[in-house]
A and B are shown apart, each in its own frame.
Chain A
């Protein structure tokens, strides 16, 4: 933390603002912070509860930013940095207008798992993190919980805890949990029969509220206010509450991320009704890997596979 503060303090004159995290309404909920003055920097926090992927803000903030010549500072975890990479690949973000602070990430917390792991349910007054242990303080005292026990699903399959495309990396590199792409949760779905899979998704998706949090939290959902899912002409979905329309919305989201999704898992994290929507995109990522040996956001110079072609490829 001290390094992060000190580093940004020293640079602040050259920065328009810094996007990071600050403590939200309780220490368990760090919230994105847009720090516009030097004094604001003291509000920065960085710990395994800093879940939001801040790259989602970059296209918008760069579009609205005044041309002051100053850069916009942004703190990115490993997975967040892949999203940045994809945004750069597709021309939505001009990399040179950013100052990217890469933060090696020990993994982020699944709030539901944490709630289960905690003995106390009292409001939390303080959180700290050291050596893989979360220390959580409430009026019932301090509990120590191993991060590994309460890790978010997305982090269990993480290969990129150490940020790519950063201007500076603050903190020691974190050994990746996986060295090879892992699709075990996709495998689990595929172990079901076709019929079971349909029933599984129908049940999961029946809970969908169509609040579109998954879409809006997605850094690669770049259409923003002009999403096809809400268009009436052409009309892709109705306003009925049935599973079919919910399914179609999620297919729109998933297919528009084919060969683009960087597997940050934000869509799933923000879903209020716990639908494992990231699995759709993980399956897409796996197909892109199998067909084109492609991993979105890792190489800013690469062209996404569905935005190009190869006349010589066979077998498809």
Chain B
């Protein structure tokens, strides 16, 4: 650790306020009315920042809002054309710099699933890409994995710096801030003082210790083939999925689920075309106008969800579309466990436990 800064616990609010002068700063925070409910919120002085708690929803909405305007359309009178009006389109957008501060490594890493899809093409998504370019991730080295966490099983880990621009390492009395990228270094410089050698040593110890921890069993990254072999095994899918309620909770809390819908919300010829979160678990997702639905029941829908993350996405982009945050497992109303489903893929018929 060549370069590092120290931020005392007591200085956290001040540092966040300082960052907020140039950027929207998103932090995990709890509601006054619901202390147990931690979500990413825009920092403002007085907000109860909760670096100690895992957030319910990932930081996904920072770069990929639940609902955003792609373009606005307005009807403009023009008697020179036969219709008597034209449609004016406006896709103007302003992008503010963003800092995601205190997310967990899995949250930052989640965007590595978005990046190849939204920024590389064949078509580049300008809305995501422009925000992405102006976003800095400061992730907190994670020391409180629970029974639903499995980041190590997807090739990450509780101290994974991948996807983060800087790391927050808890030490006595505060945090050591360690830059990972140049952008991270530029961000940290003004908010922390240079860490003392013993603080750096302590931070390095934490990093080493956490880095050695394994969160989640086995490896879920090489099961693309097993998935294809299981594709047409209804008994397997029923055994795992009969209890699924087919709601969209798992996809909405997921840091890597990026499927969306596009709808026009308008009165007459004035309105907006918006992009909003959609879920592969919803029947309408693939329902065609003719009434045909290629994924008519939760079995096909959940199979596609597993396939997308652990087979199709690796085939296209060379990595699994899962960061192991465990939210889909933790928050599922009926505790469907995607780890168990994926782990059982290669097993022989009898192992449907």
Chain A binder among B4-12, B132-140, B151-159, B245-253: B245-253
Asked if A272 is an interface residue, CB under 8 A from chain B, the answer is yes
Write out the residue numbers on chain A whose beta carbons fall within 8 Å of the beta carbon of B56: 272-273
In the assembled complex, how far is the CB of residue A185 from the closest CB belonging to chain B, in whole angstroms? 14
Q: Which residue of B lies closest to A27 (CB)?
A: B147
Asked if A240 is an interface residue, CB under 8 A from chain B, the answer is yes
Chain B binder among A83-91, A93-101, A149-157, A209-217: A209-217
> In the bound complex, what is the Cα–Cα distance between A240 and B263 (angstroms)?
9
Write out the residue numbers on chain A whose beta carbons fall within 8 Å of the beta carbon of B238: 34
Evaluate contact between B247 and A212: CB separation under 8 angstroms. Answer: yes
Evaluate contact between A32 and B144: CB separation under 8 angstroms. Answer: no
> In the bound complex, what is the Cα–Cα distance between A26 and B206 (angstroms)?
27
Evaluate contact between B247 and A31: CB separation under 8 angstroms. Answer: no
Evaluate contact between B147 and A240: CB separation under 8 angstroms. Answer: no
Main secondary structure of the interface of B (DSSP, over half): loop
Known: A230-B282, A272-B56, A274-B34. A211 touches B67 (CB 8 A): no
Contact of B148 among A25, A34, A232, A270 (CB under 8 A): A25
Known: A25-B340, A216-B246, A240-B274. A211 touches B279 (CB 8 A): yes
Contact of A123 among B146, B242, B274, B337 (CB under 8 A): B146
Known: A112-B36, A216-B246, A241-B66. A31 touches B282 (CB 8 A): no
Known: A121-B144, A123-B146, A274-B37. A34 touches B245 (CB 8 A): no
> In the bound complex, what is the Cα–Cα distance between A203 and B34 (angstroms)?
12
How would residues 30 to 58 of chain B score, 1 for a CB under 8 Å from any chain A CB and 0 otherwise?
01011011010000000000000000110
Asked if A115 is an interface residue, CB under 8 A from chain B, the answer is yes
Interface residues of A in 110-144 (CB under 8 A from B): 112, 115-116, 121, 123-124
Evaluate contact between A217 and B333: CB separation under 8 angstroms. Answer: yes
Give the interface size bracket for A toward B: 35 or more
Asked if A269 is an interface residue, CB under 8 A from chain B, the answer is yes
Evaluate contact between B36 and A272: CB separation under 8 angstroms. Answer: no
Evaluate contact between B276 and A241: CB separation under 8 angstroms. Answer: yes
Q: Which residue of B lies closest to A204 (CB)?
A: B33
Q: Which residue of A lies closest to B279 (CB)?
A: A211
Write out the residue numbers on chain B whose beta carbons fall within 8 Å of the beta carbon of A52: 243, 333-334
Evaluate contact between A216 and B247: CB separation under 8 angstroms. Answer: yes
Q: Which of A32, A61, A269 has the most chain B CB atoms closer than 10 A to its own CB?
A: A32
Write out the residue numbers on chain A whose beta carbons fall within 8 Å of the beta carbon of B252: 209-211, 272
Evaluate contact between A239 and B336: CB separation under 8 angstroms. Answer: no
Asked if A56 is an interface residue, CB under 8 A from chain B, the answer is yes
Asked if B65 is an interface residue, CB under 8 A from chain A, the answer is yes
> In the bound complex, what is the Cα–Cα distance between A210 and B253 (angstroms)?
11
In the assembled complex, how far is the CB of residue A199 from the closest CB belonging to chain B, in whole angstroms? 12
How would residues 311 to 353 of chain B score, 1 for a CB under 8 Å from any chain A CB and 0 otherwise?
0000000000000000001010111110110000000000001
Evaluate contact between B335 and A24: CB separation under 8 angstroms. Answer: yes
The 4 closest A-B pairs by CB, nearest first: A270-B333, A241-B67, A24-B335, A31-B335
Residue numbers of A with Cβ under 8 A of B are 24-26, 28-34, 43, 52, 56-57, 61, 112, 115-116, 121, 123-124, 203, 207, 209-213, 215-217, 225, 230, 232, 238-241, 266, 269-270, 272-274
